[in-house]
Amino acid sequence: MLFRSVSQSRYDPLLLVSWSLVYEVGFYFLVALGLCLYQRGIPRQVLLGAGFGLALLAMMAPWKGIFFILNFWPEFVLGSIVYLGVQAAQRSLKEAYLWMMASLAFLLTGIFTLPSAGHKWQLAAVTIFAWILYLLYPFDQRISKMIIMHGLGWLGVISYSLYLTHVFLGLKIVNLGIRLIKPDSPYIWVVQPSAWVLSIILAWVFYKNVEKPLEIMRKKISKNLFKKNKNNINSNFLAAVKKILQLQKK
């Protein structure tokens, strides 16, 4: 919420992609809550139904306040449907087809219920790319052995760092290039590639010095916590959820 309020203020936030991080953190929170409930005996079908129900509610009207993260929940659920389809394909093709038909029905529901035309196109684009990933999954081993995939694999490793830093440097380079180079100059075509290259270099530096060390630290902390007492983690998380809901009511 702090990132979101800062990004909407008259001051430029230090992290320009903070608005999307808020949605990401919110999704992690909801999924973590679902996993805690699953470990406490709530059936998988009930939790999946609750997730789909929230997505349908999010399609009908924009959410505000603390529940604003649900506005992009349909896209998250759509990705989950495709993932379930991939997992089901290992057991039964019929079950996999049913999940993929569910994704198509989900898209059609969004087209008829989403109030924003832009959001409808966004959901359609997500569906198309999700289907492409699903159809390419059986060829995953072959694709991963292609030479071009080595470079893409490296970009995948630093992708989160690139996501965090690309606007910070890339946007400044583009703005500077537009101001210094005339539109009819042939050098104008160098501005955007230069922004990409320098953004990737910055992302690599950020990954090596920030993201990777933090990821190693996170794994060590998580391993120690789960070794000590797994049940206490779930209890504390659910207690925190209850406290947040109580504060929201006040």
What are the residue ranges spanned by the domains of the chain? 146-229
**Does residue 4 contact residue 22 with C-beta atoms inside 8 Å?**
yes
Tens of pLDDT, residues 33-61:
888 888 888 888 898 888 888 888 888 87
Instruction: Give the pLDDT of residue 13.
Output: 54
Instruction: Give the pLDDT of residue 230.
Output: 55
Q: Which residues of 25-36 are buried (b: 16+ CB within 10 A; e: fewer)?
A: ebbeebeeebeb
Tens of pLDDT, residues 79-122:
888 888 888 888 887 888 888 888 888 888 888 888 888 888 88
**Token pair for residue 182?**
């005339």
The gap from C-alpha 118 to its chain's centroid, in whole angstroms, comes to 19
> What is the distance in angstroms between the CA of the first residue and the CA of the last residue of the chain?
17
Q: What percent of the chain has pLDDT over 70?
A: 80
Q: Give the separation between CA 24 and CA 69, rounded to whole angstroms.
A: 8
Its pTM stands at 0.62
Contacts made by residues 229-236, CB under 8 angstroms, sequence distance 24+: 234/36, 234/39, 234/40
Which one-letter amino acid corresponds to residue 230? K
Tens of pLDDT, residues 190-240:
888 888 888 899 889 989 998 888 888 887 777 766 666 555 555 666 666
